[in-house]
Amino acid sequence: MAEGLDGQTTPRRLTAMRTLLQGRPLQESHMKTRWLDKVLAGVIAAMGAAPAWPLVIQSPQPGESVSPGQTVWLIVNPSSPAESDIQAVRIMAPGASGCEDVPPSVPVQCPLTIPDGSDDAAIPTAVDIRVQVTFADGTEAQAKTSVTVTETRSLQALEGDPRASPLVFNAIGEERDFPVFGISTDGGLHDLRGRRQGTMYDISDPAVVKVRDDGRVVAQAVGAATITVRNGAFSFEVPVFVLDGTKARRP
């Protein structure tokens, strides 16, 4: 068998070279793995030090309907559960009052009064609310919401459309309009459907149907439920039935 210049046989030299070449990528792979581990550890540490985003505004809900002069509670839950993590709170609600000097606490809360036009200023149609929280480590988090200002109505009754009682759905996923009318003391009829008009919906079995923010009702499962509609001091109930249209058509 032929030998190389160093006295090793050619097959032995080839084996040694193959081992060297195979080991090099393995070493590089280990180096890359260690480098990625260090980078990942740094990212995890940074994520643990920084507060989660965003802040959660529990009240008021976006687009919630309020009246001029009404006071609503602004309630914000920061991501950090410890009061000591919050260094400063700033609330901006142009035109509204009551939240100019809010102490850092969890939850962040204050009574926000909507302008009523008593100072000869025009009553806004909406108030934008922005909350900014500064944490002890200097990081900041922000959240925003808004309320819709509607004219004050003195209701004497609340009613639905008789043609929509009961509400009957023939298939899951079907949607229906759900009119809600408020009758004011001057005899006026007002369309109050949807949560933006201050109308609230209580469902006896939320698994059967749901009510969207715009007031439309969506069938979710076969069954029966009752929707209680409230606005101010008035309310009414509507029974709801969701049928399985496919099974109903079978002989």
pLDDT at 155: 79
DSSP codes of every residue in the chain: --B-TTS-BHHHHHHHHHHHHHHHHHHHHHHHHHHHHHHHHHHHHHHHHSPPS--EEEESPTTEEE-TT-EEEEEEE-S---GGGEEEEEEE-TT-BS-SS----SSEEEEEEPP-STTSPPPPSEEEEEEEEEETTS-EEEEEEEEEE-----EEEEEE-GGGSSEEESSTT-EE---EEEEETTS-EEE--SGGGT-EEEES-TTTEEE-TTS-EEE-SSEEEEEEEEETTEEEEEEEEE--HHHHT--
Return the CATH number of the domain spanning residue range 56-149. Answer: 2.60.40.10
Domain boundaries, the chain: 10-44, 56-149, 155-248
Q: Which two tokens stand for residue 205?
A: 């079995």
pLDDT for the residue 123: 74
Assign 90 a pLDDT band (cuts: 50, 70, 90): very high
**Is 1.10.1060.10 the CATH number for 155-248?**
no
pLDDT at position 250 is 37
pLDDT at 83: 47
Q: Of 56, 55, 60, give the one whose Cα is nearest residue 141.
A: 55
- pLDDT by residue (tens digit) across 55-88? 888 889 898 888 777 788 899 987 655 545 788 9
Mind listing the pLDDT tens digit for each residue in 150-177? 766 677 899 998 888 899 999 999 999 9
What is the residue-averaged pLDDT of the chain? 77
- Can you give the pTM of this predicted structure? 0.43
Q: Judging by beta carbons within 10 Å of its beta carbon (0-12, 13-18, 19+), is residue 148 exposed, middle or buried?
A: middle
35, HSE (Cβ side, Cα atoms, 13 Å): 6
Q: What's the confidence (pLDDT) of residue 150?
A: 79
Please tell me if the domain spanning 56-149 has the same topology as the one spanning 155-248. yes
Phi, psi of 240 (to 5 degrees): -130, 135
Using 50, 70 and 90 to split pLDDT, how confident is the model at 209?
very high
Q: Looking at per-residue confidence, does 209 or 120 come out higher? A: 209
